[in-house]
Every structure is written in structure tokens, then in C-alpha cells.
Structure 1
Amino acid sequence: MSCLSLQLGLLLAASALSPIAAQAQEICAADLNGNGDAADPGETASCLATQSGTWQCPLQQALCTVTVTGTYACPLGDQFACEVPASGGEPTCSPNPCQDAAATPIVEEPPISDPGVPADGAVDANGNCTANIEIFSGRAMRCRPPGLLDTFQNCCKDKGKIVKDGMGSSIGSIGTKIAVAKAVFTGMKAAFTAFKAGATAGEAAGAGAHAMIAGIDPTSIAISLAVNFIFEVLLAGCDQEDMETGMLRGSGMCHEVGTYCTASVLGICIQKARGHCCFNTKLGRIIQEQGRPQLKVFNTVGWGTPKAPYCRGFTPEEFQALDFSKMDLSEYYADIEARTQGQLQIDMKDRIDAYMQAIGK
């Protein structure tokens, strides 16, 4: 059984701790489902004080039994001590010991923080691009499913299509779509910065939404969904990259590469993350998914690893070599066909409302 201890405050970051609980520096964790880590809900718990001044893990806790000699014995094994809870009651035991939190530091992987390929590279005197050209390039990103460090909230939860892909002539150019992706990043950063500075979740959400629509066509962002999304993830303990990935993921712009461990103690994973390649458009993600198998250069590296997704775009030569007749673009066509006249009218209303919000009227 894998066990470890951590700072109690990490587990209860959003809760008001009592004076007794605030002194508790031990928790325990156990791989209850046998998958090799303790990152799933219910596999980490704060240790409970006992009348003898020790701590006991509540995971797999059992009542002690009375022996023929009148003493207590742990049904899980004699090696586990029977202790009376500090609150009173029958003696209990647990197979999962608590350890000193100060002696078990958390080893945490930082966010991926991939800025992606700059939209504008260096040019020569004649205006020719001197940098490498990448078509439908993406960014390596991650979001965290429920775990200890995000207070068991799902920071990868889809909240609907917030970033709109393909709004007619108003967002027809690649440059504008890149601007939309940049706006998402700017908005998430603004919201997270405001929240850390003491703003309420609502105020931070408003700041993030305002930053997202500043300088771009506001109809490319579903403002009401964006505000609700930012508000929810801030209260859930998600960080800036969680927020950005979740928004793009829910909008169909991300390819999930896989899951990896992003935080551990004593070699035991306590928090997982999902690595993605996220693109400026949903169409870009679809073409990447169906174009890569056609090119030998991607055969060995594929999408990289969950911890280090490989998200580069196609070179002009690679893009010209793609056979679009072998691609299934029905997912993208379905989105276009589903746009009824009523939805187009709603988009126009969103355009007007968002613009009025942007100018403060």
C-alpha cells in the first residue's frame, strides 16, 4: 500500500481551518484502485488526531476487536496500532500510516507554458519571410483533471463552444483566427492576474472577457459562456493554463495526447494532467489529426508525449503533399450546416452586445 503525507492546507485550500486543524501537518494517501498512483478522488485524506497524541489515516480504517485477554487488536494485522480517536469512541486502526509533512516535499511539474510559433516572423528587405513557415501550428498545453492540487475539481471540464470557429467574412482570415487564439491567452492571463491580486471571481471573469474581445471581432467569442467559464474555474482552483486549455478544448480546438503525472510525493503521483496540442481553429485540429498519418516524418514522433506534446505545423512542402480527398471533414461541415438563420441572428446580437461591453456602454 502506497502512503504519503502532505501539507493539510493544500487539501483544504478553499476551507476555513479550525485552530486544531490548522496545526495538522499530516495527511495520508493510498492507491485504492490499484492503478499505481494516489491521484484519484478519495485516495488522499487528512489524518485524524488520536487521544495518544498520534495521527491515524481514515483511509481503509477499521474498528479494532476485543481479544480473549480483554485487549484490542487490529483485524487488518497486528502491525497496525489501535488508537482511540481524539473525539472519543471505539479504538480504530488503519493500514495507511501518516508521515511528517515537512519531510515529504511535493515534486511538481510546472505548466507547459508553450507560447507557440509567433504569427509574424522576420522578413528581408523585400518582405519575404526568413523564418520557418508552419501551417496550422499548435501549442503544447495541459489541463488537470480532479486531484489534490486542484482541490479535486475538474479543470479539463468542457463548458461548450466558447471560441467560435468560422464566422463568415468577419473571421475569414487566418490572421484574425490567430488573433482570436491570442485573445484567449490574454483574457485568461488577465482574469487569473486579477483574481490573484484580490479581485472577486466575478470581477476577474469580467476583466478576462473584456481582454478577450479587445482588438478582435467580438463575435468570435461567446461572451456569456466565457464569463461563466472563467468564474467557475477560478473558484475551482484551476490555474491560467487550465483555464485556457479548458476553453479551447471545449471549443473543439485541442487534440488530447494523453495523461501524465504532474505532482508526486515520495514517488507516488497525487495529481495528474492531460497534455494537448491546441490549435487556432477547429479546422486546423482536424487537418492536423488526419494529415499527420499521411506524412512519414510524423511516423516516429507522432504527437510526442503527454508531458511534451509535439504540436508543430506543416511546412509548405508537407502541406502541398497532403491528399485532402482522403480526409473526413464531416465534423467541420456539420458545424457549418448546423448554423440556422436563427443562430446567425443570435451571432449578430452577440456582435452588438459584445461591442457595447467592450466600449463600456
Structure 2
Amino acid sequence: MSVEDLSLVDETFFDQQVSVDRDQQIVVSLRDAFPEPAVILAANLQLTWTGPAADVSMIELASPDNDWHATLRITHDPDSCQTCVIRITVRGSVRALRQNIDSDPENCLLASDEFCTAAFTCQDDAPRLIGDSALAPPESFLLEPIYPLSELHQPPSALAPVCYRASARYECRIRSGQFCIDSPGGSSCSVHQDNEGAIDTCAPMLEAHPECTLSRSGCTESGIGHGDWCYVESHTYRCPESVVGPSVRIHTTQPCSGQIRCAGDDCLDQRFAEQSIDSLADGMAGMMIAQTYASDWQAPADPNRSAPAPPRLFPGKPYECRKALGGTIDCCDQTETSVESEWFAKFQRHLRRANATDSLARYASAGPHGSWKTLAESRNWSLDQLSKELTSGPETVSGGDNPVLDPDDGSIVGGSRLLQPMNDEFRDESRFDHMAEVGWACSVEEFDLANQRELGHCLSIGSYCHHQVLGACLDKRDVFCCFNSAASRTLRETIAGPDGAARGAFGTARNPQCEGVSVDETRMQSLDITDLKGRLARAGVVPSATDVLSRSSTERLTGSGSNLADGDRSTVQQRTQDRLGQILGADVRDALHAEGVAAIPSLTAHDHAGQLSFAPAYLQVAPGRVLIVSVLRQGTAGEVSVQVVPGDGGHWPAGMPAISETLSWADGQDGFQQLSLTIPRSAAGSFVLRLTNPSGGAVLYPNDQATVKLVP
């Protein structure tokens, strides 16, 4: 610290003629005589005046208490004059200085904080003259000390005596302490020490992936110390992955020349004669965006509203993962599995079955069969049969006995069009299938996050320091908003705009806001679907060039071998021949009843009273925890109820009473009803729940059984 003497001796601070017609006051500021910043230590002022006034006096002396302002009072003498002119002069001497504090290195910390502790030692306290006397208490207490008062320092005070030069020793415990993680296999801990300088945990990633570019950077929340010093920075990188997709162009011609107008290709619009894989991938990505608009929404529950709340589109959930700052434990790693292709396969099944469910609802009042099956026997030929439709609505939707439209055992897929229940079920299945496979050593929730990041469902919000007793930022948390699909994440990222996460569109790391958006907020000028196209291609959803080129024109028209349908689907001609060859009159007659009964569930599932189903139908719970079981009603007409009882399969947990719970819905009510089961600590294996005794015309579809897996 250095001081510059700014003292003034016998200086005039006020010298003016003042018109007075009543008693009044004048304030004289000594600071106006000095440049900023200046520290005034003492002042000795003299007041003189001339003119017809009763009195002029200094009623308040300039001092540190009034920021060095002197107050003068003028007493008017009306007997001398109505308006009097007097001259007032204030002169004197003022001791002042300018204080300069610097450090080496520049901008180093000057105090302790929750990250570092500073111990100062004064190295120069030789007296300095300011004016005609040495700088000492109590005047020195008007200065800013170069280090704060503390018993850690030598001497504890930097102002008695005044210290002009000091050195500081900092002891920092940013990432020291014990770091523990909980995993399905138990708890594990490691001890970390601040035994090295600043570390760059991004360097290994950048060395392995030089294609990554910096997206945003900033100080980690709660990683800021004294003087806004940033101890822990967070950098977010965008790392593109190149996906090599198929490239083929098909030109279709119509070799049908003839003399009749339009018998050839002269009337065809040749703009659509060419097809390419690129346009197909664009169309598939665009279709998924449209499907996401229709299926990814939720209506928030608001008990204070008489009418349903407006739907919120593309809702998400906040997730966070832990990493030991500078250590080897990192629960923010992504998984490397086949989960992406599995998710798209489940998504396609979900949409096909949901569409079939909607279509079957339109044919709920029609018969199960058309005349095709009846006319297979000649004795059933009649004008009445010939007048009927060849196939019924349900047969048209299901394509006969199509196993693709049969619900998976214990699955919610196709039970509703909504995307969130399907994605939640997939998350639980992936946890069961892949957690042990990848040797996951962190929490279940962190595995869910890693899995969804691999799917491209998540958006980085930021990071924060989770403070502990030791180590101000040993436990660093990365926070994400995860949505129900890669398309949903793309839409939310576009809606938020450029640098939306950095600007707070999704809240902060400590307070993430991943809720859905209103319909009005979804208006966008443009949408980049490059990432979505790459994921479709990498998951094998876009057909390869070899597959496309190997198909005949008939196969392309009828969907044989298309990845958009099912890989073993035959052509229309082949399916027709196979069907005709299967028609045996007596067998058809005998099978009519059985086929009709088999069709009833898919038809009655959409009775006006609605359908009841476990949602989800696959559950995982740890022994000793409470299991929440949800049953979904789709439909609103009439009062309905259903019983939940133990089902066949698995082993009912010993010590847990058998249940027979009744769940009820009022007229006009749909949605979920729930019950809770407390699982004994000694339970193991799995058990089954079953729905039975539906009332009010409701049917059990598609999942009347739920499997509960007990995980350690």
C-alpha cells in the first residue's frame, strides 16, 4: 500500500457574497477540494464574515461523522435591512491523503472465504508523514486496511500500527475431504486432498475429441468466493458426431406408351418421379416432430381451477449427477449401449398400436368380421352376405392376426398416445437390462440420466458446488433437463433460442425449471433436424441403400422389407395367396366363434365406460421401501371400479398381507388412481398384481397384470 499526501494549508474552502432575507443555513463540503478517492484525516477551519447580519456561526464542525461537511447558520437582522448582502469566508488547513492498494499477482485475494484461509504477516509498518505529523491511530482507522482484522494475522490489525506492505499465505481446501457414492451394490467412499494446483478436467476429453467446440462457460454456482473470485469454472462443449448414412437416388419411369392420351407418362408430374434416402430421412424426422406435438404433452393438475388447465407441451424432468472435482469418481459419464435402437423400436410399436387403438374405437359398434371369412364356405353364400363389406373395421385395422399389434406382456405400449408413460416404462426396462451390463457404480437416478443422455433426451443447464464440511467444492453437481424424446429436446432447445440455457430459459443449476411450455410458445421460425436425422440413421430406422435397391417396385409399393414396417412383411400378392390357401370351409366355420371371442378384448376395450390398465405394468422397488401402483382409466362415462389382487406368477413376499384393494372413478372422471404397498425388508425375487371384477361396463385392457421386480 502507498499513500500520497494531499494536505492543504491555509486554504480557502468558501468565499461568497450571500443575499439574506431570513435566517438560513449553508453547508460547506471539504471533499469538493480534493480529487476522488481521497481520505480526509483532520480539519481546522476558521469562519469570517462582513455585512449587516445579526450573526454568522459554524453550528456543525466538519468531521468523519458528517462526511466532512461544515454547517453555517446566518441570523438575519431585519432592523438593518430587508434583504442584506453579506460576505462569508471559510479558510483553514486539512490533512488528507490518497490511498493506493495493489497486489502481486494482480487481483489476488485479500481476505479469507469458505474456500481459502489467508494468514497475513506485516513486513513494513514504518511511520509515514501526512502534513506535519505521522499517520497513526485514531486517524489511521479512516483508511482501508490491506488485510482484515483477525487473530490469524501478525499483527492482528493492519491499522494499529499502519501496515504498508504484507505477505499472505493461503491454505485452500476446495476439493479436500471424503466423497461417497451410493450404488445398487452399496456405498463406497474415497478420500481426496488438495495436493496439486489448478486442474483442468476437460483436457482429457478435448484431447480425445478435438472436434469439440466450446458452447458456453462460466463460474460454477456456489463456486464464487471473496471479491467474486471464481474457484471452479464450468465449460460446456458441443461435440458433433458424424453419422454416415445411406445415399441412393431412385428414378421411376412409366413404360406404358400408347395412342391413348395419358396412357403413358405424359400426364405424370415428373417432379415426384425421383426418390432419395435423403428426402426419406427428412420426412421421417419431420414426421417424428409432428408426432411429438401430438403425443408429448400433459395437463397440469390445478385444484383451484374449475376447468382443466391448458396443456403444457414437451415437459421434462430435472436430473443431476455427481463428480469428485479433480478425482477419479465421475457419476456423469454416459453409457454406451444399444439403447438408442431399442428406444426407436419401442417408439414405433407404441405409435402403431396407439393408432390401431384409436381406429378400433371408431368401429366399436361394428361386427368383428366382414363377409370375407363367411363366404369361404359356399353354403353361406347369400345376397345378404354379398351385400356386406368384404372386411370389417377391426380386420382392416389389425390386418388379420397381426402380432405387431398385440400388446407386450405387462407393457403400457399402445395403451394411450401419450409419449411420457412409454418413455418412463422404457427407462425402467433399460435400467433392468443394462445397469449390470455396463457395471454401473453410481446411483439409479444417475444411471437414468446417463441412459437418457445417450438417447439425446437431455439438455445441460449448468453446475453447482454441493458444499460439505470439508472441501468447498469437492462434490460438484452437473444438472440437466431431460425430455421424453430427442425430438422433444430439439424442440425445447429451439424454442429457448440461441444460448437459451445460458440465458436462464431453463432456470439455474440449483433451481432448474424443466416444465412444459404453452402452445403459444411453440411457434418457431425454423427448426434444425440434423441431430434427429443422425440419430434415426444410427439407430437403423432409415433403410439402408442396399435394402432399397434390392426391392422390386412391388415391394416398395407394398412395404415388403421396409424398416418403416416389419422386416419380414410379405408383398400384397403373396399375403393374398397365403390367405386364400388357408381357407378351409369347415375349419373357418369352426373357428368363427373362437376368432370372435379373441377379437372381443380389442373391441370392448373402447366401450364408452372406458378401459382400465396398470400403467406402468412393470415396476421395480427396493425391499423396505413403499411401492406406488397406478391404474389408468381411459374413458369418462359412468362410475366404474376395479379390484387389485395378487396374480399368478412369482412369489408373493413373505410377511406382506395379501391385498384386495378397490379403486373407483366417478362419472366423468378419468386418469390415474393409486395404491401403496410397503415391501418387507426380507422380500426378494418378483411378484404379480392382477386387476379383476371391473364394474360399470369398463374393460381390462391392455394390461390387466403388473410385474413387480424387487431390486437390492
Q: TM-score, normalised by structure 2?
A: 0.26
* Greater percentage in strand: 2
**Which structure has the higher relative contact order (CA within 8 Å, separation 6+)?**
1
TM-score using structure 1 length: 0.47
